[in-house]
Structure formats: structure tokens, C-alpha cells
Amino acid sequence: SRTPYYNHLINTALIVIGIFNQAFKLVSKKFISEDIIKGIQVAVFHGIGGASFIELFYDKPHEEQKIRYAEGNKNSSGMASEMDLDSEVVKAIKYCSDFEQGKKDFINKDDKISDYANMVLVASIFDAKISGLFGNPVTPKDAADKLYVMSTNKEIKKIYVDALAKSLKLGYLFDFYYEIEKLNKACPYGKHGRPYPMTGFKSPVIYLCKGRITKCKHFVTSSKAVTIFRKTGDLEEGSYGRCEWLSNELIKFYDKFYEQIKEDTQSRSISKNS
């Protein structure tokens, strides 16, 4: 049945509207109603190629469905062009298909077409996970968390994951990754700090030095070095020293974060009982 896939495209469009609503507050550039319409069109048609051939693979295992759906989506931009959709919409749809094929050069471009594609990808990945399109469904919190991990690994634009989290009222996720991003930028030698392991909410326990800046006074190696056996984010295989300063700042943040959660919980409890 094509129904789950068409539902996915409609849901993606609805989520994109929510992302736009929050992006107005988070992004310095201005979006107009025409941008929202184009974003919705990209959402509705970015998976039309795969959905058109669903009868050929809907009964296959989830992983094979995902691969074949992505293959079908190579046709989505061509189909959109034949429908005389705006050229910016067609190009953004092509970016979405490129992403599924592992081509992600557009992610950090600063133009409207890349914005449309980034928003749609955030919405599409999120809905696919919570709806169980290619596997067991997960909670909205876990789906958003996965997107944040992707953004930390530079696989997706973080600002639109922020917009999604805000639209879903997942403020604690937004706050957590906002602080992680601040720590990532704090390295005095050019953003070499990497939280590790970065697998999700509250997962990092230390900061590694990606650049192995041995002259830095915060660099610690020897027994505290960490060996990575498989590429993780932008950390290649190898041994990495630890950043003592950022690791300590991370611990301080956790202490403050938990204290804030405790205070918020107590405040809600008092309000509820008063």
C-alpha cells in the first residue's frame, strides 16, 4: 500500500510549517509566505518518486524498502519539473535526493534553496522515525535527539533541528545541545573540542582534542587518551588526548543542568498543589 508513504509526505509538510513558525524567531534571514509555500511543495514532492513505485518493494524488509525508496526518489525532481513547479523547489527536491545518496555538500550553504531542503530533511527524518516508516517507531524526543546528534556530526543544519525542538516544546533538548554547541566553540585554538561519546542526550562524558594540540595547557594524553576504532562524527580512527578544561566545563554544565531540572520539577509540583 502507498498510504504510509503518502501520509509521510503530508506529515512532513505539516511539520515543515511548524519549523517555519519557529525559524522566524531563530534565523536572522527573513522568510515570506512564498518561502513557506515552496517549503511545503518540497515536502510534498521530495518523496514522490519513491512513493510512485512502492508496489515494487512495500513487502520487502524495512532496510530494503528504505534503499529502494531512496532510489525511486532520484526521479522526484524530474517529476516535479514535469509538473512545472518552481525551479527553486525542483532544485531543493534534488538536494533531498542527493542527501539520501550521501551527497551533503549543500547542507551548510546559505541560500533559500538549501534552507528548504534542510527543513524538509529534518521534518522527513523526524516523521519517518516516529511513524515507523522504515522500522520500529520511536518517541518524538528520541527522534529529535537523533537529529541533534546528526547536526553535531555536521550531517544536518542544527538551526532547523532547534526549530523542530521548539515547535515540539522539547526545550530541555534545545537547552542541552545549545550548551554543547557553546562548549564546542570555546576551544582557544579553533574549535578542536569534541564531546565524546556523542550518541545522544546526556551521552558525552569528556571532551577530546580533535586537533591533538599538544602545546595547549589543557591537553592531557598518556593514560587519559581515548582510542577510536571506527570513525565517529568527524573523529577519524586513532588516539586522542583529552581536553581537561572542556571536560571539567561539561561536568559543571551537567551539575547545573540537573539542578535546573530539579528546580523546575519542584516549581511545577508547588504550582500543581497550590
Q: Which residue has the cell 564531546?
A: 195
Q: Which residue has the cell 525542538?
A: 165
DSSP string covering 31-88: --HHHHHHHHHHHHHTTHHHHHTGGGTTTS-HHHHHHHHHHHGGGHHHHHHHTT--HH
Q: Looking at the structure, do residues 137 and 214 belong to the same domain, yes or no?
A: no
b/e map of 59-87 (b: 16 or more CB within 10 Å)?
eeeeeebbebbbbbbeebbebbbeeebee
14 residue type, one letter: L
Looking at residue 222, what DSSP letter applies? Answer: G
Q: Looking at the structure, do residues 156 and 186 belong to the same domain, yes or no?
A: no
Q: Looking at the structure, do residues 115 and 12 belong to the same domain, yes or no?
A: yes
pLDDT tens string, the chain, 274 residues long: the values are: 668 889 999 999 999 999 999 988 887 778 889 999 999 999 999 999 999 888 788 788 888 989 999 999 999 999 999 999 999 999 999 999 999 999 999 999 989 999 999 999 999 999 999 999 999 999 999 999 999 999 988 899 999 999 999 999 988 888 899 999 999 999 999 889 999 998 898 889 999 999 999 999 999 887 667 999 988 888 899 999 999 999 999 999 888 877 765 555 455 444 544 4
Q: Looking at the structure, do residues 65 and 141 belong to the same domain, yes or no?
A: yes
42 residue type, one letter: V
In the chain, how many domains are there? 2
The 3-state DSSP class for residue 92 equals: helix
Of 171, 193, 208, 160, give the one whose Cα is nearest residue 43.
160
Dig out the grid coordinates for 37 from the structure: 509555500
Judging by DSSP bridges, how do beta strands 242-243 and 219-220 pair with one another? Answer: antiparallel
Q: Looking at the structure, do residues 141 and 108 belong to the same domain, yes or no?
A: yes
Q: Looking at the structure, do residues 118 and 194 belong to the same domain, yes or no?
A: no
Dig out the grid coordinates for 212 from the structure: 591533538
Q: Which domain holds residue 246?
A: 175-273
Q: Looking at the structure, do residues 162 and 182 belong to the same domain, yes or no?
A: no
pLDDT at 60: 85
Dig out the grid coordinates for 264 from the structure: 523546575
Q: Looking at the structure, do residues 252 and 157 belong to the same domain, yes or no?
A: no
| Last residue within a domain, chosen from 116, 134, 169 | 169
**Beta carbons within 8 Å of 130's beta carbon, 6+ residues apart:** 137, 138, 139, 140, 143
| Last residue within a domain, chosen from 147, 169, 191 | 169
| Last residue within a domain, chosen from 169, 184, 203 | 169
Q: Looking at the structure, do residues 163 and 240 belong to the same domain, yes or no?
A: no
Q: What is the pTM of this model?
A: 0.83
Looking at residue 101, what DSSP letter applies? Answer: T
The 3-state DSSP class for residue 194 equals: strand
